[in-house]
Structure 1
Amino acid sequence: MESGEDQDMNDSQRKKKRYHRHTARQIQELERMFKECPHPDEKQRMQLSRDLGLQPRQIKFWFQNRRTQMKAQTERNDNCVLRSENDKIRCENIAIREALKNIVCPSCGPPGGEDGYFDEQKLRMENTRLKEELDRVSSIAAKYIGRPISQLPHHGHPMHASSLDLSMGSFGGHEIVGGPSLDLDLLPGSSTCNLPTLPFQTTGITDMDKSLMAKFSTNAMDELLILLQTDEPLWLKSPVDGRDILNLETYERTFPTRVNHIKNPNIRTEASRSSSVVIMNGVALVDMLMDPNKWWELFPTIVSKARIIEVLVSGMVGSRSGSLQLMYEELQVLSPLVSAREFYFLRYCQQIEPGSWAIADVSYDLTRENQFVSNSRRLPSGCLIQDMPNGYSKVTWVEHVEVEEKTPTHRFYRDLVNSGLAFGAERWLATLQRMCERFACSLVSETSTRDLGGAIPSPEGRRSMMKLAQRMVNSFCGSISASSNQRWTTLSGLNDVGVRVMVQKCTDPGQPNGVVLSAATSVWLPISSKNVFNFFKDERNRAQWDVLSNGDSVQEVAHIANGPHTGNCISVLRALNASHNNMLILQESCTDSSGSLVVYAPVDLPAISIAMSGEDPSYIPLLPSGFIITPDGQPDQGNCASTSSGMRSMGGVGGGSLITVAFQILVSSFPSAKLNLESVNTVNNLISTTVQQIKAALNCPGS
């Protein structure tokens, strides 16, 4: 006879035997039928029973459970929408109550009853009338000054822009009106050597705002983790290049509250995802991404500005987990032809598990009176960082943005931008991987005669030279982008792009003191970006494109490797036949799958000696010039007559490349000096001649 325990065990086993788990095929067929008919009749249930090998009762219960599940999901989605609308109305209610408290001056006392309501309406009407009057006056003034009134400095809002004062003449035609005696004055206070202020004055953030921001960022983190960890059907593989493509239909079903109910045809969505292994541990990487200064140094070719507006939550003690920051960023493509993108967003860091962190970015609406509104919006984006046993990290990156381009992108860069390559996850990860390799090389304590050419005596000298070169690259990247505080003026000449110039007044340490004229242009070449980079990288070719070398060949006297790729290095070059033997060239070249840079600056021998000895190079003045090389974003057509088959076969992404040529010239050592026409013509001829020589050397004169 069985005991009570044995009988309970047998009952449990019998219950387990009754449990049936549907196969993947059965679930797929049931789901397909549910989409067509959520309430099948008895005949349909019997047919499914025969086809799937299930009992009619099982079919009936499955459809009942599925309908219940769908109803619950719909209710949850509706509740999310209602909660969001409720929070929005609550915030508007608070804002209105705050406004009612201040609709009269303090000496008049607080408003009361219906008088307060009518006073508020009067103030609103008066405010509308004043705005209309301001618009009318602005339009009249713009006719006389030749530019929009918004571009002029206003009292209380200092202008941080560099430009040429064209009040006595203008560029754009075949010549400059006004004759050779024309002086182009520097705008008051213009300088790109100083960190620009935000385009609005931040106001206090209330506790209610912080609560809403915390909830908003938490929801963004939940969405980001799904985007990071889910493959099909949310992400599909591109049949062209294998990149991850967001399935918008699945995304809208998965996140219905994220979809805008008003479709703007001028807004374009970009979404990309990529994964890579980088030489840096997770803790160090999280610290760099949460610190805006380190973040800018980590991505100098992408991030032109970065700033914390307010730290909302400082996070756990000794850890970044839980940290929430309201931030501002400006992202760039290194060409004056591509407008920079500005974002105001929340950055939230969370440790998912030991050795794993997620950082979520999402735009937050800062629209208030007399504050700036960005035309770019970051949907939940960010990265997942996972420690590896060897001290490296696996990083998965998602970029998801909405962009309203008020100014069309130049045709040269249209394919690169519209394809998502210009600001996509692949570019972020390629840059991160290369920069982490650079940082790892700077920490190597052993010296190598082969790497250093015997000219740098110590590891300290090596790090000092790397620091000097990094500052040179950062300065170069900051001098050529279409940033919001930099206004370029187009000269006539080179193809339909022209040479674009900008004036800067520099007084910062590490910059030549005085007036600097920057000039840049971009061209398309029917040659792969890899081959163009190899051409510039080879010092034996320098005499073919360096106008200032007067045809002299150069010799590499010092060499520092910045990573496993031979193209990532720092060089010190010396002209063999130069009359000034005390002048050397500091050059850094770097390349990855997203593009390449070759940046150089003249440095005198005493300054180089200071850096090589390991002393602080922060005060060595640098005025860099160079080249930015990127794929054109088009598939390789293989029909460029001027390009050899060997060159095409070595090409990377795209059949051609986009080259930005940029120079900086010190016009005067006095910051208050005026810019004359001769300096403008000199830099215009310098750029034009350089481009012509590059085309001739690469056998594509008709490009």
Structure 2
Amino acid sequence: MYHSQNAFNPQQGLLNMTSSENDPLGRNRDDISNDIDTMEAPPSGDDQDLDQAARRKRYHRHTQHQIQEMESFFKECPHPDDKQRKELSQELGLEPMQIKFWFQNKRTQVKTQHERHENNLLKSENEKLRADNIRYKELLRNATCPTCGGPAAVGEMSFDEQELRLENARLREEIDRVSAIATKFSPKSPGSYYNMPSRSLDLGVGGNYGAQPGMVGEMYDGNDPFRAFPLPTDADKLMIVELALMAMDEVTRLALSAEPLWVAGSYGTEILNEEEYQRTFPRAIGQNLGFKTEASRQSAVVIMSHARIVEMLMDVDQWANVFCGIVTRAVTLEVLSTGIAGSYNGALQVMAAEFQVPTPLVPTREHYFVRYCKKHSDESWVVVDLSLDHLRPGAVRGCQRRPSGCIIQELPNGYSKVIWVEHVEVDGREVHDLYKHFVNSCLAFGATRWVASLDRQCERFASVNATNIPAGDLCVVIGRKSMLNLAERMMLSFCNGVGASTAHVWTPLTIGGEDLRVMTRKSVNDPGRPPGIVLSAATSLWLPVPPTRVFHFLRDEKARNRWDILSNGAIVEEVAHIGNGRDPGNSVSLLRVNSSNTTQSNMIILQECWSDAAGSYVVYAPVDIVAMNLVLGGGNPDYVALLPSGFAVLPDGSGMKNGPGPIIETGSGGCLLTVAFQILVDSAPTAKLSIGSVTTVSNLIKCTVDRITAAVTGAAAPN
């Protein structure tokens, strides 16, 4: 008889049965599962305990006809309700409880078979991935340093040293955090909410090119202008609440209105009709600075829930990371309201931020503003910003943020629709002539760029968390997430170092007719960079070709030896690839330079390429091979030291297009190319910057620019 280890629980109505592979009658487990058994309810009373166990195991074998009928019904409905079980019992001559138990055990059997099949598939896939992992590691293990012939590395340091530097960085952050809290509650500065801890300014870098203390691009140094932003008084807070409510109403109306308030503009962006705006909103919020107005609207469907997007916008750190190409620095100065019942509904906070374009030739824009979040309905939220510059008497203001923000609407399957309104008044006289069309087209700081950045980051998050890996990916599954996180840090470092942020001091140079900007960085105890003096150099130029042509040329590893001087004409091979969005051009790759010269053979490069409606980027960095082996095995990417270089490709603003879409390739419109290099010129942090280092980097950029120009325009290559 079939042996059951678990007794029937009449309160739960479940029968849990376990068995050996075969019972004493010689039937296997699958045969037994088809013999759905019934049992009688155990009699109550202590005097019947001996008989109870025996009666619990009294089973009845079903006929073949009964089994076939229930099998057929199971295919149509695996979970019959009470009425269906009663009809089956009458038709087959069984009790409803017998029908119930048969379907329970049948579902268990199907689930077990399915899991067994999945386990076999996973085991086969695991063996395949293991073989790929061994092959990739072997490829990386054979790479050598181009100078000494040993294992290639960005910085000569062991993993123990890297781990110590990482721990030191974490300890410094903890000290800064505790110091900030202590300063906040110090009796010497009552009411001071925001006191950014000072960082070391002993740079020790100088030379003949104007380098001086403060030239290093520290994110927050002692001259941080955010320190000058005032904190609102109690009287100001009441006014801020009223302004936030008015801004919420205006942004909502702007986001949902149609023509004639909005007219078609360049690159699929909607431009605000100023005359109609004045009629619709006669009492404009904010002061009239007498500057030109930039107002645009854009919408998109993104692969992220509306609640997650609201969280990113209201958390200043997440907001700055998601929009790293636009936001160089951001801080929450004071939280006036945290929202209702643990949500962001009604959250109100005073913030300061700096926005940039990926070039040193466009000045950044600093904003001091209030951010207000409100639940508009069960399916949508509204997040708005409004400048508080009137609280800064005497401050020199070059821009003002009028009511701006977005509506986030919930869609099925984890998607959201975002409608973004960007409305600013700005003095654009300091913009370089090269970028005037781009800025005036509302692509530089407008709604299209914000929405495009959000859409790209949503695709990135979806790619990091993807479980169904595309067949075209050449990277092992184990290291996929670590490699994407490493590429994200590389892109963040590049964006923070290529613009005209006031946190950095660029030194303009003119070498060979090129407008070159140079700055130095001192890297000490930074686990993300090799130690020493880092030279950053950037230049921007106009090319008479569409942006897409330049982007695809730069991202093509087969064409890399045509512009990359360091590859010395060698063949570049892609040894790992991760798709990072809908566009096939958006990807993270691991490249190897196969050179016949043994001193340059097997160079390893981490590269990320992405393109959206506002611009394209190709960013790369030499990587330590031993560290990349750990990353490919799923290790911590924070141990990999990076010095990212690369390109930002932007439309020049002269092209026109009806409707949203990728970068334009119509008409006579050209593109704006920014070339930026970071090079370790000396591994000693106390070293002085030499004239030879600057000259070398300048010549490197000039030669690279000449080669790219010749390749994409069809001109003769320079000698």
1:443 to 451, 465, 469: 465
Q: Distance in 2 between matches of 1:529 and 1:601?
A: 22
The one-letter amino acid of 2:442's match is: G
Is 1:387 aligned with 2:410? yes
Is 1:257 aligned with 2:283? yes
The CA deviation at 1:163 is 11
Q: Distance in 2 between matches of 1:201 and 1:339?
A: 19
Change over 3 Å in CA distance of 1:211–1:628 after alignment to 2: same
Q: Which segments of 5 or more consecutive residues in structure 1 lack a partner in the other structure?
A: 1-155, 171-183, 638-648
**Secondary structure of 1:698's partner?**
helix
Number of the residue aligned with 1:424 = 446
8 Å CA contact retained: 2:204, 2:688: no
**Secondary structure of 2:642's partner?**
coil
Number of the residue aligned with 1:329 = 353
The CA deviation at 1:448 is 4.8
Is 1:629 aligned with 2:644? no
The CA deviation at 1:260 is 7.3
Change over 3 Å in CA distance of 1:193–1:158 after alignment to 2: closer
The CA deviation at 1:188 is 2.8
The CA deviation at 1:562 is 0.3
Q: Distance in 1 between matches of 2:392 and 2:202?
A: 24
Q: What are the Cα deviations for residues 57-81 of structure 1, in whole angstroms up to 9, with x where unaligned?
A: xxxxxxxxxxxxxxxxxxxxxxxxx
Q: Distance in 2 between matches of 1:214 and 1:513?
A: 47
Change over 3 Å in CA distance of 1:387–1:378 after alignment to 2: same
Q: RMSD between aligned alpha carbons?
A: 2.7
The CA deviation at 1:207 is 2.1
Number of the residue aligned with 2:381 = 357
Is 1:216 aligned with 2:233? no
Q: Distance in 2 between matches of 1:199 and 1:161?
A: 21
Number of the residue aligned with 1:549 = 567
Q: Distance in 1 between matches of 2:453 and 2:202?
A: 28
**Secondary structure of 2:412's partner?**
coil
1:270-281 equivalence runs, <5 A: 270-281=294-305
Q: Distance in 2 between matches of 1:241 and 1:517?
A: 36
1:292 to 316, 320, 324: 316
Q: Distance in 1 between matches of 2:427 and 2:638?
A: 40
**Secondary structure of 1:686's partner?**
helix
1:236 to 263, 284, 287: 263
Change over 3 Å in CA distance of 1:163–1:383 after alignment to 2: farther
8 Å CA contact retained: 2:247, 2:285: no
Change over 3 Å in CA distance of 1:702–1:543 after alignment to 2: closer
1:472 to 485, 490, 493: 490
1:634-649 equivalence runs, <5 A: 634-635=654-655
Change over 3 Å in CA distance of 1:576–1:516 after alignment to 2: same
Q: Distance in 2 between matches of 1:489 and 1:472?
A: 24
**Secondary structure of 1:691's partner?**
helix
The CA deviation at 1:317 is 2.5
Q: Distance in 1 between matches of 2:622 and 2:231?
A: 47
Q: Distance in 2 between matches of 1:261 and 1:483?
A: 26
Is 1:500 aligned with 2:517? yes
Q: What are the Cα deviations for residues 43-96 of structure 1, in whole angstroms up to 9, with x where unaligned?
A: xxxxxxxxxxxxxxxxxxxxxxxxxxxxxxxxxxxxxxxxxxxxxxxxxxxxxx
8 Å CA contact retained: 2:448, 2:614: yes
Q: Distance in 1 between matches of 2:512 and 2:454?
A: 34
8 Å CA contact retained: 1:582, 1:604: no
Q: What are the Cα deviations for residues 560-598 of structure 1, in whole angstroms up to 9, with x where unaligned?
A: 010121110000000112635564100000001211000
The CA deviation at 1:636 is 7.2
Is 1:205 aligned with 2:227? no
- Tell which structure's C-alpha radius of gyration is larger: 2
8 Å CA contact retained: 1:529, 1:652: no
Number of the residue aligned with 2:683 = 669
Q: Distance in 2 between matches of 1:694 and 1:658?
A: 13
Change over 3 Å in CA distance of 1:331–1:653 after alignment to 2: farther
**Secondary structure of 1:678's partner?**
helix
Change over 3 Å in CA distance of 1:430–1:161 after alignment to 2: farther
The CA deviation at 1:303 is 1.0
1:404 to 402, 406, 427: 427
Range moving further from structure 2, 274-283 or 573-582: 573-582
8 Å CA contact retained: 2:247, 2:403: yes
Number of the residue aligned with 1:191 = 216
The CA deviation at 1:408 is 2.5
Q: Distance in 1 between matches of 2:213 and 2:271?
A: 47
Change over 3 Å in CA distance of 1:263–1:562 after alignment to 2: closer
Change over 3 Å in CA distance of 1:368–1:337 after alignment to 2: closer
Change over 3 Å in CA distance of 1:655–1:203 after alignment to 2: closer
8 Å CA contact retained: 1:347, 1:361: yes
**Secondary structure of 2:708's partner?**
helix
Q: What are the Cα deviations for residues 167-217 of structure 1, in whole angstroms up to 9, with x where unaligned?
A: xx56xxxxxxxxxxxxx6x52354324445444345553322211111111
Number of the residue aligned with 1:309 = 333
Q: What are the Cα deviations for residues 540-565 of structure 1, in whole angstroms up to 9, with x where unaligned?
A: 10000001111111100000010121
Equivalent residue pairs, number = 511
Number of the residue aligned with 1:691 = 705
**Secondary structure of 1:390's partner?**
helix
The one-letter amino acid of 1:309's match is: L
1:46-65 equivalence runs, <5 A: none
Is 1:587 aligned with 2:622? no
Q: Distance in 2 between matches of 1:468 and 1:295?
A: 19
Range moving further from structure 2, 418-427 or 228-237: 228-237
Q: Distance in 1 between matches of 2:438 and 2:668?
A: 10
Change over 3 Å in CA distance of 1:298–1:242 after alignment to 2: closer
Q: What are the Cα deviations for residues 97-146 of structure 1, in whole angstroms up to 9, with x where unaligned?
A: xxxxxxxxxxxxxxxxxxxxxxxxxxxxxxxxxxxxxxxxxxxxxxxxxx
Q: What are the Cα deviations for residues 28-47 of structure 1, in whole angstroms up to 9, with x where unaligned?
A: xxxxxxxxxxxxxxxxxxxx
8 Å CA contact retained: 1:274, 1:398: yes
Number of the residue aligned with 1:509 = 527
Q: Distance in 2 between matches of 1:344 and 1:263?
A: 15
Return the TM-score normalized by structure 2.
0.67
Change over 3 Å in CA distance of 1:223–1:509 after alignment to 2: same
8 Å CA contact retained: 1:270, 1:420: yes
8 Å CA contact retained: 2:231, 2:334: no
Number of the residue aligned with 2:273 = 247
Instruction: Kindly indicate whether structure 1 or structure 2 has the higher relative contact order, using CA contacts under 8 Å at least 6 residues apart.
Output: 2
8 Å CA contact retained: 1:163, 1:487: no
Q: Which segments of 5 or more consecutive residues in structure 2 lack a partner in the other structure?
A: 1-196, 658-662
